[in-house]
Structure 1
Amino acid sequence: MPSPGVAGEGDDDMAVVPSGSFVYGCDRREGNPADGEGPSRRVDVDAFRIDRCAVTNARFERFVAATGYISDAERIGWSFVFAGLLPDDFEETRGVAAAPWWRQVHGASWRHPEGRHSDLASRSDLPVVHVSHHDAVAFCAWAGKRLPTEAEWEKAARGGLEGQRFPWGDDETPNGEHRCNVWQGTFPSRNNSDDGYYGLAPADAFAPNGFGLHNMAGNAWEWCSDWFASNRFADGAAAGLVNPHGPVQGTHRVMRGGSYLCHPSYCWRYRNGARSASTADSTTGHVGFRCARDLTS
């Protein structure tokens, strides 16, 4: 196993997010109340480094080659795949009752994103997916990094802008230009692919935000280190929080940023203040991660 911090080309391509305060959360009531986007608070976050792009298949492959790591999806033997990416004649498999567009696919993993019939050919620059929170933590440890806290992630996503919906501003498509990879059309039956992508886009596909970070909205959800709580300030914490963290325990880990499957009609969670969560062992074809590091490390 290599020493921390020498994981390979591209693993030190990080941006510095400066220290300072920002308004954490959203009071616009545009999301699902159970997500706990608000109330917002002004918090202080120390400076830190964060990957400019989500961890790609190429980077994760180097990690696995160096360590022999077996991901949760590989160990369990299956993962959830978006039905629209499967062949028309794909065998019938179990779906998710509340979200029938997700299909349980045996053999699906980060190596085989749509099952055994698929591979990573021409996908080296796509975000690695079908990775659990456990998998993300293991990669970070190997690389000498860590997952960002939820507050760090949101500050990074905002790119220095205050109170804006998206990393580039308040308008989703300024001057008609698509700035992220999400669903256009009628979900889940028709995707117009106006942004140029039906499934995942390369990790650096769209212009970076003010901190030099790509794809902080859409494309693939990103794990954070925090346990999820629907009210991040339930303990009556003061507005001047410093480096806030989630609860000390829980059942779900925070995910941020949304994915290529997001659409305002059912999942407008690719806004800066939006959030979601999943169990630490869950894997799907639209969840990945990026790493952070303390500025002094």
Structure 2
Amino acid sequence: MNKFSKTSSAESMALIRTLGYKENGITMRTEDYMAEVFLSKFMAFILSFSFFRSLILAIYSIKLPGGMPYIMAKSRAIDDMLLRALDGDEKPEQLIILGAGYDTRAYRFHHQLAHIQCFEIDHPEMIARKRAAMKNLATEKGTASTQHENDVSSLNSVHYCGADFNGKDHFDLDWLVSQGIDKNKKTLFIIDGVSYFLQEDAFKNLLSVISLFPETSQVIFDYAYADIFTGGIYRGSEAFKSSLKKMGEPATYGIHQEDLMNTMQELGFDLTDLMTPEQIEQQYLTKPNGESVQPYGFLNIAFLRKGAKTCISG
């Protein structure tokens, strides 16, 4: 395994989440008011104008069919899954965000995460970039992104864990414990926009390590369909692969639904929720009058729970 998240794609995701927050449409929107912290001052300035936001949205809709709707809807869907976990009877005691990149959930949901330890794991280079941006957030009080002072005060409660999984570090339970993570606490893992950059054995190792945590621990992740790498064509799939390859960050891995179910059964996971492109469109991208925008057609969002009493098989 090399890096969990990629610098270029992390910046692109922050840009799109910022667009969604500023546009605040009925469907094309996000709740990520902090994402622009990770943009250049020039880009943040450009996005303050409705004309340029509309232009960028139009360009993305042509270059990446379904891409922007998916990213915005996924942001809200994982937010909702996180809040559901925090509001449930089996509330986690730790939150671990793998490949955190420029994820802002540990800060935006600081009230709900009170008394819960939060860890962000990524390559040291990415961690350094993020810490620098968050330090700037703590010192610059005048912009729209820094109006939420409580979010700034939550910075000290997040533990940053730099790991070079292509070098000296190995992702296993011992490494997690060495970072201050308690293997005996119920834990929620979020793996957002990571799985398709990994190899099959690396992703299965992730789930295997997560399965070592206590019963009712949970994991949220999105994944690509395996057949987009073997000739399968879905809405936006070719543009998705091409754009990432041009960025030097090629997608390499997809999951067959049957394989996921088998892996879940082997490791003792239950399927709490599985959002397909059709469900994402219906729940997050459809207006009250029935009009909708279509997301990518080849990415699901899965929500698993460890140690369930029943098992859903495919």
TM superposition score category, shorter chain reference: under 0.3
Considering Cα pairs closer than 8 Å and 6+ residues apart, tell me whether 1 or 2 has the greater RCO: 1
Larger helix fraction of residues = 2
- Structure-1-length-normalised TM-score: 0.26
Larger strand fraction of residues = 1
- Structure-2-length-normalised TM-score: 0.25
